[in-house]
Amino acid sequence: MKKFNLTLLFYPVWKRNLIVYRRIWKVNFLVPLFEPLFYLAAFGVGLSGLIGDVVYSGQELSYIRFIAPALLATAVMFNAFFETTFASFVRMYYQKTFDAMLSTPLSLEEVITAEIVWGATKSMMAAAIILVVISAFGYVTYPWGLMVVPLAFIGGLGFGSVGMFFTGITPSIDMFNLPMFLFVTPLFLFSGTFFPVSGLPVWGQYLALASPLYHLVELTRLLTMGRMESDPFISLAYLLGFGLLFYFLAIRAMRKRLIK
Amino acid sequence: MERANSIIEAKNLSKKFGSFTAVDNVSFQVEKGEFFGLLGPNGAGKTSVIRMMYGFSPLSSGSMKVFGLDIKTGWRDIRSRIGVCQQENTLDPDLSVEKNLIVFAGYYRVPRKEALQRTDELLDFFALNHKRQDQVSQLSGGMVRRLMLARSMINNPSLIILDEPTTGLDPQSRHQVWDKMHDLRSRGMTLVLTTHYMEEAANLCRRLIIMDKGRILVQGGPEELIHRYAGTSVIEVENPGRDLKEFIRQKKIRHEELINRLIVYTDDLDGLGRVIRDRFCPEKCLFRSGTLEDVFLRLTGRELRE
């Protein structure tokens, strides 16, 4: 069964996650609603007085305006990554949900794909809520701003795939601290989120270019305020390539882990 | 030997994990409408055989055909026509009892209307209707098992595979599960089960195999195996005297010598049984029928496993 078996049968698995999500959807909506508000309050109101304006892509922006799109992009990362690490691990390891599914006509590829697509769906929903929040502050220009929603899905597929890859190779749930603090946290801090990458030394700029979150932040800025530092096509290609690579790595890791 | 009615045909099946051989050249067939048992101590390879049967584990060598289809190429088709009840509780704790069945039906692409109807039928059949809105975590062990069984039948399968369906259940729940299985048998269902309970296998299975260390030791009907490897009657003598032991050995009667206990297997209860009762019963002699457990223990030994 080394062949790649993927059909639309991944849909019922995706739907299973949606059914579970809907049970407590009000709670699930609160986090993406309030989290950006807290950040905007802390950084925008608290910090921006100290920092003043930021020069980004040749334009002076208030600090809060600068970080608002980045907060949306990091939420995309966190939502997908949490879903395919902690939540998928619980389903796989503690609840044996995947074992049950693999006794039905579902293939391993379908189960894993559904988990990743579900992670991307959560990213997309979070992005939509945050988009509404920062639109209320007037930080989004339309109609291009709406494209953030499909972008969040693409970004979610990428970060969901990395998360699933870690789930495939992580021996126990406590070990997720490693990718959390050594992969996600540096991305969160150094991807042009809280300060422009152009302010970094050259080596730092190159490092930021390797960060998938940097490209997602850039594209989000482009779509919400019509400006970015880098090339949109390169950023999009990088994001897609990154996602595709880790998608196949994730499938391979999970096959090794589950099929005995 | 090819038979038209074979639902499962395993030929020279082997499963290796690195250098460890879990299943070693196993061949058997299961006929349509048959209840077939896989018996063996822990680590005998039963679960590995089962997992190869539904295409979860790739075969190391040999072939496995279900409904005449090769598991390697026809796994999806095969899985859509079988129901599997795994050893561990794999119910979805995030969903209610009812939703466990409805969502699972989706994995088989059962149309929604049919899924709802089958859910109703199965909850009735397994006496879970009063719990349909409950969460799985609120169910007792027996109910969990019944829901697992119900779920394995959501796609209206022609073959059910059960891995230790009654392990860990109290006697009431066990008997309830057995009742349901008798019911299924009378409906002509084909079923494969693994079990540690010899009584369960003797009661339910028309044919069975006893495995140990990855190999098949014997294969046949329960009565036939009892007759062949134990005896229709068993006499257990506590603290047997030396004269009895000599007598048994001399007459070459099938027996086992344990610490402080002698077990004699015989088909001749009237003759030999009377002799032992009259001449060699110093303390206590127990006369009983031979059981599958006698066969099992004789063939797989009495040492502890694991």
Which residues fall within 8 angstroms of residue B115, CB to CB, at 6 or more apart?
A: B101, B102, B105, B106, B154
Q: Which CATH architecture has domain B231-290?
A: 2-Layer Sandwich (3.30)
B180 has a chain A CB within 8 A of its CB: no
State the Cα–Cα distance between residues B9 and A187, nearest whole angstrom: 54
Any CB–CB contact under 8 A between A24 and chain B? no
For every residue of A25-94, DSSP letters joined together read HHHHHHHHHHHHHHHIIIIIIIIHHHH-EEEETTEEEEHHHHHHHHHHHHHHHHHHHHIIIIIHHIIIII
Chain B residues closer than 8 Å to A103 by CB: 54, 56, 79, 84, 86
B296 contacts: CB under 8 Å, gap ≥ 6: B39, B198, B210
Q: Indicate if the pLDDT at residue B280 is higher than 80.
A: no
Would you state the pLDDT for residue A1?
A: 43
Q: How many beta-carbon contacts under 8 Å exist across A and B? A: 70
Q: Is the pLDDT of residue B242 over 50?
A: yes
| The predicted structure's pLDDT at residue B289 | 86
Residue A59, amino acid? Q
Tokens read off for B98: 């009812």
Point out the least confidently predicted range of A54-63, B29-38, B146-155, B214-223: A54-63
pLDDT at B95 over 90: yes
Q: Taking all residues of chain B, what is their mean pLDDT, rounded to a whole number?
A: 90
Closest residue by Cα to residue B95 from A89, A24, A102? A24
Q: Which CATH architecture has domain B6-221?
A: 3-Layer(aba) Sandwich (3.40)
Confidence tier at B306 by pLDDT (50, 70, 90): low
Element (DSSP H or E) covering residue A107: none
A 122-181: CB under 8 A from B: none
| Minimal-distance CA residue of chain B relative to A1 | B72
Identity of the residue in B55, B86, B109 whose CB atom sits nearest the CB atom of A100: B86
Distance CA(B90)–CA(A94), nearest Å, equals 9
Please judge whether B94 and A95 are an interchain contact, meaning their C-beta atoms are less than 8 angstroms apart.
Answer: yes
- Report CB contact under 8 Å: A105, B91: no
The pLDDT value recorded for residue A153 is: 98
Residues of chain A in contact with residue B54, where contact means CB-CB under 8 angstroms, are: 103
Nearest by Cα to A81 from A220, A224, A212: A212
Nearest CA in chain A to B136: A95
Q: Is residue A2 pLDDT above 80, yes or no?
A: no
- Say how many CA atoms lie within 13 Å of B60 toward its Cβ: 17
The whole-angstrom separation of Cα B110 and Cα B102 is 9
Residues of chain A contacting B95 with CB distance shorter than 8 Å = 16, 19-20
> Which residue, chain included where needed, has tokens 């069964």?
A1
Is this prediction's ipTM beyond 0.90? no
User: Which pTM value belongs to this model?
Assistant: 0.91
Rounded to the nearest angstrom, the gap between the alpha carbon of residue B103 and the centroid of all alpha carbons in its chain is 28
Q: Does B94 touch chain A (CB under 8 A)?
A: yes
B269 pLDDT above the threshold of 80: no
Dump the DSSP string for B89-114: ----TTSBHHHHHHHHHHHTT--HHH
Token pair for residue A173?
A: 């749930």
Rounded Cα distance, B152 and B159, in Å? 10
Where do the CATH 3.40.50.300 domains begin and end in chain B? 6-221
Q: How many Cβ atoms from other residues are within 10 Å of residue A245's Cβ?
A: 14
pLDDT at B282 over 80: no
- Give span(s): CATH 3.30.70, chain B: 231-290
Integer Cα distance of B67 and B30 in angstroms: 10
Confidence of residue B1 (pLDDT cuts 50, 70, 90): very low
Out of A17-31, A168-182, A205-219, least confident range: A17-31
Higher pLDDT, A151 or A4: A151
The C-alpha of B31 sits at a distance from chain A's nearest C-alpha, in angstroms, of: 21
